[in-house]
Amino acid sequence: MVAASARNHEGSDTVTYATPGHLPLFADLLFTAPADGTYTCVLQGTAYSSLTGSYHLTAVAGKTWLEADDGDRVGAGWWQNPACESADSGGACTYVGTGPARRDAWVFYDDGTPSRRWQAHPDAVSVSAQANLELTTCYHGTASCATAMQAHPRGKNAVVDARFEFIQLGTTGHACRTHSTTARRTVTDDAHHAVGYSFLTGLPVDPACGTRDFLMRIYVKHVSGQTVKIDGVQSGVTSLTNGIAFNNFG
């Protein structure tokens, strides 16, 4: 299993970084061992560029790490959306924007992701959920979007609203308790690929709902600017948009 986050570096003088010149990236992965044994986890950083010159990444001491929980996260669940190759020559990706793109979309819900319910453990006192949503701007001439989705020249940028929801279902299969967090995101054409992180922690499991079943989804609505692609699984293995649910026992 592979999970990744990507973003173009916007330069040392950008105003979008908390620390000038320092671009933080986080990639979360829930690994389920197929059998008892010893497994190796790797944190890999790669610099890609079609421009001439020498480019590199620097692992900053004290600020670069691979953090792993070697305890058994009993009953944890993993979501990832469908295949979406970089150039999307097969038209498999989901887009939100203008023209032929959708105006909005539900990630993990109506984007071709297999329908999935997650059941909280009977002994869990609460649950937590998190998700990484990676978006790519589709400016004219990019190699990362279908040609039909390229509506504006580079520099237009994009604004989207995103709402992360973790829903406890009732006995009829409909929403009983909805937990959510929202964010308005600007994705610049300089960044081009940009991942956003959402968290909902310590959510109570309401016994009045009659089930311990939960549904995860992310609502994405285009506000202005470039059409954006919702990145998915690439090369059949690398997940760029994904979610995790946990049981909390203490």
* pLDDT at position 229 over 80: yes
User: In residues, how long is the chain?
Assistant: 250
pLDDT, tens digit (0-9, with 9 covering 90-100), for 1-16: 899 999 998 887 888 7
Distance of CA 43 to the CA centre of its chain: 18
Antiparallel, parallel or unpaired: β 158-169 and 126-137: unpaired
The Cα 82–Cα 240 span in angstroms is: 10
Among candidate residues 235, 249, 223, the one with its CA nearest the CA of residue 98: 223
| Beta bridge partner(s), residue 78 | 244
Map out the domains of the chain as residue ranges: 74-248
Q: Is the domain 74-248 a CATH 3.30.590.10 member?
A: no
| Token pair of 21 as six digits | 């010149």
pLDDT, tens digit (0-9, with 9 covering 90-100), for 21-47: 888 888 899 998 889 898 888 888 888
Predicted structure pTM score: 0.92
Q: For tokens 């190699």, name the residue.
A: 143
